[in-house]
Structure 1
């Protein structure tokens, strides 16, 4: 088992490439099958691009965070600090519905911007960050030990 790898970068498109490169290197080390590495690269790139776009759209200088671990499979978390409604693609829902904790993962992943990402990742979760500001995109892939 490898330790958790964490990246944090300023919301600039140029850093997305670095996140993709690190993500694929960590995936390879974790034991993700070679035929899934393109999927990993594309998914990490899309999730990081989404976070950078949200930060720039809202004028946020907060760092985009990426966390990678291999327990139990290879998991990548990309965290932005944009308003939750924007990050979840739910800006058309009334505030009382946004506060509803019964929103399913399926409802959260059907927002604009998630269709492409959902095509790359079989196990995709999108949820508000614990602190209440921002969203976490979590993606998982199987590993071979």
Structure 2
């Protein structure tokens, strides 16, 4: 299992780099060429979402991207620094203002776009922050031949 780790400052201009790196690693891992545009779009959306969450919660830690090449699948994990108690979950209390509601709407839209692009997606939030894990199958070509 090969893993590439990418960390970048939560700035919108770094999202493009993350998309390019993800597409290159996905291609090398054996993800079907027809799916690479979906990989790029999904990673861009997940990274843009993480950047937005960092900005709206004044988090200075970097956005984390793990590109995991497994035997029959390729996974990408995009992590943000927003922990479960930071108010990102619905029903976070009465302190929510209109701008936060707009941010939550954009967050939900981003997750909907990712879900439309990726069949196998998992979104979690914990003590380390939020995580979007997206997985695609890989094609096994000559690796099985003796």
Match of residue 75 from structure 2: 75
Question: Offset of 1:133 from its aligned partner?
Answer: 3.7
Count the aligned residue pairs: 125
Normalised to the residue count of structure 1, the TM-score between the two structures is 0.80
What is the match of residue 52 of structure 1? 51
Deviation at 1:27, TM superposition (A): 0.3
**Mind listing any 5+ residue stretches in structure 2 that lack a counterpart?**
94-106, 141-146
Instruction: In structure 1, list runs of 5 or more residues that go unmatched.
Output: 95-110
The match for 1:139 is 134
Q: TM-score, normalised by structure 2?
A: 0.79
What does 1:103-114 align with in structure 2 at a 5 Å threshold?
A: 112=108, 113-114=110-111
Distance of aligned partners of 1:29 and 1:117 in 2 relative to their CA distance in 1, 3 Å threshold = same
Match status 1:30 vs 2:29: yes
User: After alignment, is 111-120 or 51-60 more displaced?
Assistant: 111-120
Aligned residue in 2 for 1:128: 125
Task: Select the structure of larger CA radius of gyration.
Answer: 2
- Given that 1:11 and 1:55 are in contact with CA atoms closer than 8 Å, whether structure 2 keeps it comes out as yes
Higher relative strand content: 2
Task: Report if the CA contact (8 A) 1:21-1:41 is conserved.
Answer: yes
Runs of at least 4 residues of structure 1 off by over 4 A? none
Q: Does the CA contact (< 8 Å) of 2:83 and 2:125 recur in 1? A: no
Tell me the distance in 1 between the aligned counterparts of 2:85 and 2:38. 27
